[in-house]
A = this chain, B = another copy of it.
Amino acid sequence: MHFELTEEQTLLENMVTAFVRDDYNWETREKIVKTEEGWKPENWSKFAELGLLSVPFSEDHGGLGGTAVDSMVVMEQFGKGLVVEPFMPSILLSGNLISKLANESQANEIIPKIIEGESRYVFAYAEPQSRFDLSDVKTSATKDGDEYTLNGFKSVVFGASMATHIIIAARTSGDQRSEDGITLFLADIKSNGITLQTYPTIDEYRASEVVIENLKISSDMVLGEVDKAYSVVEEVIDLATIAACSEAVGILQVLKDSTIDYCKQRKQFGQPISKNQAIQHKLVDMMIEYEQAKSILYAAVTADLSNADERKKAVSGAKARIGQSIKFVGESAIQLHGGMGMVDEYMISHYFKRATMLGVLFGNVDFHMKRFVGLTQSNIEPIDGSATIRGGY
């Protein structure tokens, strides 16, 4: 039993750490997020060079065959740098879907282009009414001969404006909320029938609303089995959720450490504010919350993720618990920074905003608590307590 990284993982970590340190300092990032596009395509080429884009793919397809620990290693460091390039949506989410579902000809066509940095896919799953429920899909796909026609609306698709292709979850049968009847479709994002409304997010990423009107897709472009996408979608979103947790833990570390440093330097009433016991105890609680968040992330990445029940429990548990840490550590960081915490100019507020939005991504605390309850509190055998009750009620 140990929590050390393997040699390969350490190399990966050092590589990403070096990228963030050398190519992604605060000024560089500030410039990137202020561009119209909101990312720097050269960084994507850099990721390709570093081999990062191959993380989720099997070694057969030239990939790294990465585990949850590999994703964690990358995302924790990306979190520390607030890296905005669409690594999570395009590689850990869409890439993983393709890795798991593409047939041999699709895989041979698509995967090399992703690894080389030529293609970027995004996955459009959420809809305005679905909230975090992956089975709530209204976007319809109706078949006519060899072709499907899709109509619908997908909301808040991160990285869509940076993508070359899109994977759309659409309903091919069943009721609006049934798990059965969901099918995935691959399409060029510039296809007729797809319109993007792109906007910056509050944490300076880019997302798009995707309007789908009479989009024609050949049945070759179905990804995986017709009607049967749900369980893989759930699995891949779960793994991406671990990635989101990892990014959050990286950010929490920055929030905690920066706040400790700030309180040591900031003087009021003639002494560093860190000399106030009330502030000391709050900093201790931030540290505890960070450690607890990191611990439950470790619990998730070392769980048996190949077992669906174990995976769901580990993922929802981590996302719910880390969501609580985000709120406490984030709000405390701003409070202890005082006015400096409020301003756009100083970096702490950006970490707070990103952490908060990661709390929403793939489901917030309430959503994952409820899912965790469903997995851990059903079929409990009641204890027998009747022996001492008289009167035989």
Give the residue name and chain of the B residue nearest to A281 (CB): B278
Contact B153 A389 (CB under 8 A): yes
At the interface, yes or no: A272 with Cβ under 8 Å from chain B?
no
Docked CA distance A272–B251 (Å): 40
Chain B residues with CB below 8 A from A278, complex form: 277-278, 280-281
User: Who on chain B is nearest to A392 by CB?
Assistant: B153
Question: Is A85 in contact with chain B by the CB < 8 A criterion?
Answer: no
Say yes or no for A152: interface residue by CB 8 A criterion.
yes
From the candidates B127, B152, B197, B393, name the one contacting A127 in the complex (CB within 8 A): B393
Inter-chain CA distance A153–B197, complex, in Å, is 66
Chain B residues closer than 8 Å to A152, beta-carbon distance:
391, 393
Question: Which residues from B are CB-within-8-Å of A280?
Answer: 278
**Chain B residues in 8 Å Cβ range of A197:** 390
Complex formed: what's the CA distance from A19 to B213 in Å? 80
Q: Does A289 contact B (CB under 8 A)?
A: no
Give A129's nearest chain B residue, CB to CB: B393
Shortest C-beta distance, A213 to chain B (Å), equals 7
B281 & A138 in contact (Cβ 8 Å cutoff): no
Tell me, rounded to whole Å, the shortest Cβ–Cβ distance linking A47 to chain B: 33
Size of chain A's interface in residues, with CB distance under 8 A?
A: 21
For chain A, residues 120 to 160, give those with C-beta under 8 angstroms from any C-beta of chain B: 127-129, 138, 152-153
Tell me which residues across on chain B come within 8 A of A281, comparing CB atoms: 278
Q: Which residue of chain B has the shortest Cβ distance to A197 in the bound complex?
A: B390
Judge whether A238 is part of the interface by a CB distance below 8 angstroms. Answer: no
A393:B153 contact, CB within 8 angstroms: yes
Instruction: Check A226 for interface membership: any CB of B closer than 8 A.
Output: no
Q: Which of A336-393 contact B (CB under 8 A)?
A: 389-393
A211-B390 in contact (CB<8A)? yes
- With a cutoff of 8 Å between Cβ atoms, the chain B residues found around residue A277 in the complex are 276-278
A70 at the binding interface (Cβ < 8 Å): no
Interface check A247, CB cutoff 8 A: no
Shortest Cβ gap from A122 to chain B (Å): 17
| A209 in contact (CB, < 8 A) | yes
* Contact in complex: B153, A390 (CB < 8 Å): yes
A138 to B393: give the CA distance in the assembly, Å.
8
Nearest CB of B to A85, in Å? 27
Name which of A212, A276, A278 has the most chain B CB atoms within 10 A of its CB.
A278
Partner of A153, one of B127, B138, B211, B391: B391
B contact residues around A211 at 8 Å (CB)? 390-391
Q: Which 8 pairs show the lowest CB-CB distances between chains A and B?
A: A153-B391, A277-B277, A153-B393, A211-B391, A277-B278, A278-B281, A128-B393, A278-B278
Can you list 25 residue pairs at the A/B interface with Cβ under 8 Å? A127-B393, A128-B389, A128-B393, A129-B393, A138-B393, A152-B391, A152-B393, A153-B389, A153-B390, A153-B391, A153-B392, A153-B393, A197-B390, A209-B390, A209-B391, A211-B390, A211-B391, A212-B391, A213-B391, A276-B277, A277-B277, A277-B278, A278-B278, A278-B280, A278-B281
Q: 5 other contacts beyond A152-B393, A211-B390, A277-B277, with CB at 8 A cut-off?
A: A129-B393, A152-B391, A153-B389, A209-B391, A278-B278
